[in-house]
């Protein structure tokens, strides 16, 4: 680490003009000084947020800067920020503010003033913080004097009015800053979270820079690797390697790093960018609105995934910030249509087996679903439970239906499989009792007989524990709605719509035949994940075949997925499945679709074309996890097109195992397809009713009569 630090010091020296005079200020290197430095940058960012809102380009850049500093400091090899380190970072920050100053040529002197202010903890300089819209309009120098009455000269043009029109006096400008700082300190204290440091794409770039492809570039440069699948050697960088890396970055340290707006709301006119140096390149330039300008190396966007608000009152909520950031980096967060590179993004970062990709990325709900996939579904299950409440629930244990030897055996087998797949954890209470997770809650698990397997497990999150003669709140009763409940508005209309469309078609052409196909999603709710922190809200006792005498030996299952029994699970899941239905409907409009490996399973040897109808009718429906198609199309080729749309549409929301890297089965239930549920047939059970597409009748199955 001494070698690394010396190399950084040596490389940073030349990035600061007149460094000898700057070095004489001798900024302290104590931890307190480092924190003051970071706090100053946060205050700067909060001021920009208060003045111009979250769409401020410079605000985003400062957030990235803070996150990078904190990520390095929290890594395996924290950096000691000496004077020259600080001066370098401040200089890079100031270079980005030149577009907001009266005279960019004064930047060196202004930087020295800024450094002096920071060292002595005085007011943030108005010269650095005021945007162009709030500054005087530049006029000819004239030896430092203003003379609007000069012969032959017209008076200087008045500045254009901005959204934040203020007086041009110094005192009023200072008041704007002071008010913004006060607002920032009181209402927008941001918690900057350091994510994984470097993406895999950037690792290759770093390896090239340090000149050793066998070593992990992440670990070499930053002292930490965030890639679970990394197979490269993790060794500290030598002074020569770090010097080589920083030296190659030097050309980019003397120009402002600009991040253009990517799919944002309109930004005030004073954020017009300066002329772009030729050495910068555009990436993700899929349209005129999405160009992002960055230095060629390192090409890393991980630091964009950074910000969440505290629980204090804030102008923007955590969810709004996260969604905005997802929109900004949508091209990188999006899963490409091919398999290359997708395995790393899914199944490694989290356990969610739902992620929109391909055509689903054009759907309005894609940003929300990407957020669910990356960060887990939103969860708010109310106040934390007391230790007494938790232990009373542990002693009560599971529902009586889960206490038989058969039920215990099946539940333990299925739990072991989920743990192996990464969808749950099992912990002993004794291992966590001295440091209980804040959101830990225990609900009884119940086993319900099921037609296709021995048990369907339901977590009774509505159960209210009777303790000291009083019923305690259940998880469901304490849950605050975070989901989009409008995603379930169509559920009650599915049967009605199928009946209505068939009845209407029969009036026009009684000889036409309707055929039906149905595809089911396996382990529906389990395909949507929740964060590790939120998972503690959905815990249950894992019963044992032998009696547990000590509460410390009680095993607790901590599932990382939506649970059957939680009131928010249906709308959260339907947000994904309904999006899949919309994607299928759009795919049907295409002239042709690529083949799908399951398409032949939707036809059997008994298939035959039928008479062409007077009017072609196709309908795609979804009821939670059941995708349903009905059509009076006469030919196999037409039904094949519908089949491909269904299969590709479902996989655009629920990717198959060869993409997720998950060891489990395909999201489209293969067992039911082999049993014939996916076949195109003119008589099929749909949502508990038998539909006859020839006779135009609907009836109950015999077992229900």
pLDDT in tens, 338-395: 333 333 333 334 568 999 999 999 999 999 999 999 999 999 999 999 999 999 999 9
Q: Please state the domain count of the chain.
A: 4
pLDDT for position 219: 62
pLDDT for position 34: 58
pLDDT for position 105: 47
336 lies in the same domain as 433: no
- Residue 80 belongs to some domain of the structure: yes
Give dist(CA 66, CA 193) in Å, integer.
10
Q: Which of 343, 375, 407 is the last residue of a domain?
A: 375
Answer whether residue 66 shows pLDDT above 70: yes
- Residue 303 belongs to some domain of the structure: no
pLDDT for position 323: 56
The CATH number given to whatever domain includes residue 637 is 3.30.70
Most confident of 366-375, 449-458, 466-475: 366-375
Mean pLDDT of 58-72: 70
Q: Which of 251, 276, 294 is the last residue of a domain?
A: 294
Answer whether residue 308 shows pLDDT above 50: no
Between the alpha carbon of residue 424 and those of residues 241, 381, 417, 529, 567, the distances in Å are 42, 19, 9, 10, 20
If one compares 152 and 387, the residue with the highest pLDDT of the two is 387
Structure tokens belonging to residue 137: 């309009």
Most confident of 33-47, 251-265, 657-671: 657-671
- Residue 13 belongs to some domain of the structure: yes
Answer whether residue 453 shows pLDDT above 70: yes
- Percent pLDDT > 90 in the chain is 37
If one compares 449 and 55, the residue with the highest pLDDT of the two is 449
- Residue 409 belongs to some domain of the structure: yes
Tell how strand 540-541 and strand 555-559 pair up.
antiparallel
Structure tokens belonging to residue 264: 């944002």
251 lies in the same domain as 190: yes
pLDDT for position 207: 53
Helical (H) or strand (E) element with 309:
strand 307-309
Least confident of 4-18, 36-50, 93-107, 542-556: 4-18
pLDDT for position 271: 22
* Structural domain boundaries enclosing 397: 387-485+525-559
Q: Tell me how far the alpha carbon of residue 570 is from its chain's centroid.
A: 20
Structure tokens belonging to residue 582: 């919309």
If one compares 186 and 259, the residue with the highest pLDDT of the two is 186
Local confidence band at 236 (pLDDT 50, 70, 90 cut-offs): low
Local confidence band at 241 (pLDDT 50, 70, 90 cut-offs): low
Mean pLDDT of 413-437: 91
257 lies in the same domain as 369: no
499 lies in the same domain as 481: no
Q: Is 93 exposed, middle or buried (0-12, 13-18, 19+ CB in 10 A)?
A: buried
205 lies in the same domain as 341: no
Least confident of 66-75, 232-241, 278-287, 425-434: 278-287
Least confident of 391-395, 414-418, 468-472, 567-571: 468-472
Helical (H) or strand (E) element with 459:
strand 456-459
Give dist(CA 21, CA 359) in Å, integer.
58
Structure tokens belonging to residue 616: 């072609």
**DSSP SS3 for 32:** helix
- Mean pLDDT for the chain? 68
pLDDT for position 391: 93
Answer whether residue 325 shows pLDDT above 70: no
449 lies in the same domain as 582: no
Instruction: Tell me if 226 sits within 8 A of 205, measured CB to CB.
Output: no
**pLDDT single digits (tens) 563-574:** 999 999 999 999
Instruction: Tell me if 359 sits within 8 A of 652, measured CB to CB.
Output: yes
Between the alpha carbon of residue 484 and those of residues 365, 481, 576, the distances in Å are 11, 8, 11
Counts of helices then strands in the chain (DSSP H, E): 24, 17
pLDDT for position 470: 86
pLDDT for position 177: 47
pLDDT for position 427: 95
pLDDT for position 599: 94
If one compares 560 and 106, the residue with the highest pLDDT of the two is 560
662 lies in the same domain as 629: yes
Between the alpha carbon of residue 146 and those of residues 61, 101, 132, 156, 468, the distances in Å are 36, 19, 20, 10, 82
Least confident of 233-247, 539-553, 622-636: 233-247
205 lies in the same domain as 258: yes
The CATH number given to whatever domain includes residue 445 is 3.10.10
Q: Which of 559, 585, 615 is the last residue of a domain?
A: 559
Instruction: Tell me if 538 sits within 8 A of 475, measured CB to CB.
Output: yes
pLDDT for position 612: 86
Helical (H) or strand (E) element with 644:
helix 636-651
Please report, in angstroms and rounded to a whole number, the separation of the first and last CA atoms in the chain. Answer: 77
- Residue 444 belongs to some domain of the structure: yes
- Residue 234 belongs to some domain of the structure: yes
**pLDDT single digits (tens) 489-519:** 888 889 999 999 999 988 888 888 999 999 9
513 lies in the same domain as 400: no
Mean pLDDT of 116-130: 42
Q: What is the pTM of this model?
A: 0.54
- Residue 154 belongs to some domain of the structure: no
555 lies in the same domain as 459: yes
Between the alpha carbon of residue 403 and those of residues 396, 398, 400, 442, the distances in Å are 12, 7, 5, 16
Give dist(CA 358, CA 378) in Å, integer.
24
Answer whether residue 642 shows pLDDT above 60: yes
426 lies in the same domain as 331: no
Local confidence band at 244 (pLDDT 50, 70, 90 cut-offs): low
- Residue 299 belongs to some domain of the structure: no
507 lies in the same domain as 454: no
In the DSSP assignment, the letter for residue 339 is: S
535 phi/psi in degrees, rounded to 5: -60, -25
Least confident of 211-225, 270-284, 309-323, 444-458: 270-284
If one compares 523 and 254, the residue with the highest pLDDT of the two is 523
Answer whether residue 476 shows pLDDT above 80: yes
Answer whether residue 192 shows pLDDT above 90: no
- Percent pLDDT > 70 in the chain is 53
Mean pLDDT of 455-475: 90
Mean pLDDT of 641-670: 91
Answer whether residue 168 shows pLDDT above 70: no
Least confident of 75-84, 221-230, 506-515: 75-84
């Amino acid at each position: 680490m001494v070698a690394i630090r010396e190399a950084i010091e040596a490389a940073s020296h030349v990035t600061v003009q007149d460094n000898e005079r700057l070095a004489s200020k001798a900024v302290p290197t104590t931890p307190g000084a480092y924190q003051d430095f970071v706090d100053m940058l946060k205050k700067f960012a909060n001021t920009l947020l208060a003045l111009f809102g979250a769409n401020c380009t410079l605000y985003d850049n400062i957030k990235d800067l803070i996150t990078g500093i904190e990520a390095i400091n929290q890594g395996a090899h924290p950096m000691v920020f000496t004077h020259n380190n600080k001066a370098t970072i401040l200089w890079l920050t100031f270079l980005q503010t030149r577009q907001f100053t009266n005279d960019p040529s004064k930047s060196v002197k202004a930087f020295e003033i800024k450094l002096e202010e920071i060292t002595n903890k005085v007011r943030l300089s108005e010269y650095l913080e005021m945007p162009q819209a709030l500054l005087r309009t530049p006029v000819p120098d004239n030896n430092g004097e203003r003379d609007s009455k000069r012969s032959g000269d017209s008076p200087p043009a008045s500045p254009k009015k901005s959204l934040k029109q203020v007086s041009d006096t110094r005192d009023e400008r200072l008041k704007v800053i002071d008010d913004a700082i006060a607002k920032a300190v009181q209402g927008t204290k941001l918690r900057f979270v350091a994510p994984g440091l470097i993406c895999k794409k950037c690792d290759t770039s770093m390896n090239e820079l340090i000149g050793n492809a066998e070593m992990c570039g992440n670990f070499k440069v930053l002292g930490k690797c965030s890639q679970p699948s990394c197979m490269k050697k993790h060794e500290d960088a030598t002074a020569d390697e770090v010097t080589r890396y920083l030296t190659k970055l030097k050309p980019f340290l003397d120009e402002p790093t600009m991040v253009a707006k990517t799919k944002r709301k309109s930004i005030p006119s004073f954020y017009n960018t300066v002329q772009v140096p030729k050495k910068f390149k555009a990436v993700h330039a899929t349209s005129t609105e999405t160009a992002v300008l960055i230095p060629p190396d390192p090409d890393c966007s991980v630091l964009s995934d950074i910000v969440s608000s505290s629980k204090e009152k804030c102008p923007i909520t955590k969810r709004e910030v996260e969604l905005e950031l997802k929109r900004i980096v949508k091209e990188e967060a999006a899963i490409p249509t091919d398999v290359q590179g997708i395995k790393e993004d899914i199944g490694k970062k989290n356990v969610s087996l739902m992620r929109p990709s391909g055509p689903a990325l054009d759907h309005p709900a894609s940003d929300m679903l990407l957020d669910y996939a990356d960060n887990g579904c939103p969860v708010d299950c109310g106040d934390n439970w007391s230790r007494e409440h938790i232990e009373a629930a542990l002693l009560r244990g599971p529902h009586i239906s889960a206490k038989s030897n058969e039920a215990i055996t099946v539940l333990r087998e299925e739990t072991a499989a989920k743990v192996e797949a990464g969808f749950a954890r099992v912990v002993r209470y004794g291992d966590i009792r001295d440091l209980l997770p804040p959101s830990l809650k225990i609900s009884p698990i119940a086993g319900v007989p099921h037609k296709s397997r021995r048990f369907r497990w339901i977590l009774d999150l509505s159960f209210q524990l009777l303790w000291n003669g009083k019923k305690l709140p259940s998880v469901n009763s304490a849950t605050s709605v975070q989901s989009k409940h409008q995603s379930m508005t169509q559920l009650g209309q599915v049967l009605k719509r199928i009946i209505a469309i068939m009845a209407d078609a029969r009036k026009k052409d009684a000889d036409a035949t309707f055929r039906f196909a149905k595809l089911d999603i396996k382990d529906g709710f389990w395909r949507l994940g929740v964060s590790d922190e939120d998972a503690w809200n959905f815990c249950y006792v894992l019963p044992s075949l032998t009696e547990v005498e000590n509460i410390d030996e009680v095993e607790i299952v901590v599932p990382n997925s939506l649970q059957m029994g939680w009131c928010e699970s249906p709308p959260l899941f339907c947000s994904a499945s309904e999006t899949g239905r919309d994607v299928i409907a759009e795919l049907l409009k295409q002239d042709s679709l690529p083949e799908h490996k399951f398409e032949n399973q939707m036809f059997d040897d008994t298939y035959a074309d039928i008479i062409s109808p007077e009017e072609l009718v196709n309908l795609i429906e979804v009821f939670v996890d059941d995708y349903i198609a009905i059509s009076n199309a006469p030919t196999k080729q037409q039904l094949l097109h519908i089949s491909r749309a269904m299969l590709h549409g479902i996989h655009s929301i629920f990717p198959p195992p060869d993409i997720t890297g998950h060891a489990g089965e395909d999201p489209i239930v293969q067992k039911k397809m082999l049993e014939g549920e996916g076949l195109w047939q003119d008589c099929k059970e749909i949502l508990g009713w038998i539909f006859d597409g020839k006779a135009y009748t609907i009836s109950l199955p015999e077992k229900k009569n």
